[in-house]
């Protein structure tokens, strides 16, 4: 086990472990559930929860706890200082209105993609995703585009450590297949993933560049019954590519494809 630095404050790590134990799938947790998720004793988990409740970051609801709106303060300063989402959002709103589909902007954070902008479809049926949602990069069109933008050593390190799993019967099954998909995304300049993360959902993504650097991925998510993959390539992809180009221009200059 790696030795921690002398300055490391273990209680800070544990406090964040408790906050991160709450997820969209389980927004309400008992003390026992938090203890199990954070590898703490029940007594320790209870002390952390009560302290966080006193500070206003969680609240008790009967025998369970849930996050409060104040927990957003942890990430608000980061998002406020991240100019790319502010630049991208108007273009993604226009694109969502044009296509009547959900659009988004993602960045790569470790092994995950993180949504920093999400514009729901104006229609009744939309993909339910919010800012801050994380998915494994390998399982998404955005992730494959972002992985394709990594320097070769960094991509290789990722491929050597990635742990694949089956979300659906269509999920990619091997690292070599993933490598081929990432290389295809690099060559084509876009990626499409169909029903690998969730049945009935298809996503297409393109890179957003600043010069030769891939800084984000722009995405359109749609239900598979709405359009065949070949139709998406012919209709959605050109509009998505144009939106990414406009975002790149507003963010700091023309997007230049790496040779």
Nearby residues of 50 by Cβ (< 8 Å), 6 or more positions away: none
Q: Which residues contact 173 (CB under 8 A, 6 or more apart)?
A: 164, 166
Give residue 253's pLDDT.
54
Is 156 found in the same domain as 104? yes
- Rounded Cα distance, 67 and 85, in Å: 25
Structural domain boundaries, residue 189: 82-252
pLDDT for the residue 24: 80
Max CA separation in the chain (angstroms): 59
Q: How far is CA 95 from CA 102, 146, 190, in A?
A: 9, 21, 17
Q: Are residues 56 and 99 in the same domain?
A: no
Say yes or no: 145 and 213 in one domain: yes
pLDDT at position 237: 94
- Same domain? For 40 and 153 the reply is no
What pLDDT does residue 256 have?
43
This prediction has a pTM of: 0.69
CA distances from 48 to 19, 65, 70 (A): 10, 11, 16
Instruction: Report whether 57 contacts 212 (CB < 8 A).
Output: no
Q: Find, among 141, 148, 76, 145, the residue nearest to 102 by Cα.
A: 141
In a domain, 258, yes or no: no
- CATH number for position 36: 1.10.10.10
pLDDT tens for the chain, residues 1 to 259: 456 788 888 999 999 999 999 988 889 999 999 999 999 999 999 999 999 999 999 999 999 999 998 887 777 666 666 688 888 999 999 999 999 888 999 999 888 999 999 988 876 455 567 888 899 999 999 999 999 999 999 999 999 898 888 888 888 889 999 999 999 999 999 999 988 888 888 899 999 998 788 999 999 988 777 767 778 888 899 999 999 999 998 887 554 443 3
In a domain, 245, yes or no: yes
Given 73, 99, 124, which residue is the final one in a domain? 73
Number of compact structural domains in the chain: 2
Count of C-beta atoms within a 10 Å radius of residue 80? 10
In a domain, 247, yes or no: yes
Does residue 4 form part of some domain?
no
Predicted local confidence at residue 29, as pLDDT: 96
Looking at the structure, do residues 89 and 109 belong to the same domain, yes or no? yes
């Amino acid at each position: 086990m790696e030795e921690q630095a002398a300055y490391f404050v273990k209680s800070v790590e544990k406090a964040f472990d408790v906050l991160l134990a709450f997820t969209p799938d389980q927004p309400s947790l008992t003390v026992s559930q938090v203890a199990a998720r954070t590898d703490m004793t029940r007594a320790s988990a209870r002390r952390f929860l009560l302290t966080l409740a006193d500070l206003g970051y969680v609240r008790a609801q009967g025998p369970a706890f849930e996050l409060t709106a104040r927990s957003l303060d942890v990430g608000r300063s980061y998002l406020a200082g991240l100019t790319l989402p502010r630049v991208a959002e108007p273009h993604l709103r226009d694109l969502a209105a044009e296509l009547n589909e959900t659009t988004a902007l993602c960045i790569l954070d470790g092994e995950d993609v993180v949504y920093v902008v999400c514009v729901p479809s104006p229609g009744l049926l939309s993909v339910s995703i919010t800012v801050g949602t994380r998915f494994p990069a390998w399982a998404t069109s955005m992730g494959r585009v972002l992985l394709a933008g990594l320097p070769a050593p960094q991509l290789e390190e990722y491929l050597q450590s990635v742990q694949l799993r089956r979300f659906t019967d269509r999920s990619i099954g091997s690292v070599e297949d993933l490598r081929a998909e990432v290389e295809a995304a690099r060559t084509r300049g876009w990626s499409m993933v169909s029903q690998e993360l969730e049945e009935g959902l298809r996503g297409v993504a393109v890179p957003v560049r600043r010069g030769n650097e891939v800084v984000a991925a722009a995405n359109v998510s749609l239900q598979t019954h709405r359009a065949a993959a070949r139709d998406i390539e012919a209709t959605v992809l050109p509009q998505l590519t144009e939106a990414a180009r406009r975002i790149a221009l507003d963010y700091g200059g023309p997007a230049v494809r790496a040779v």
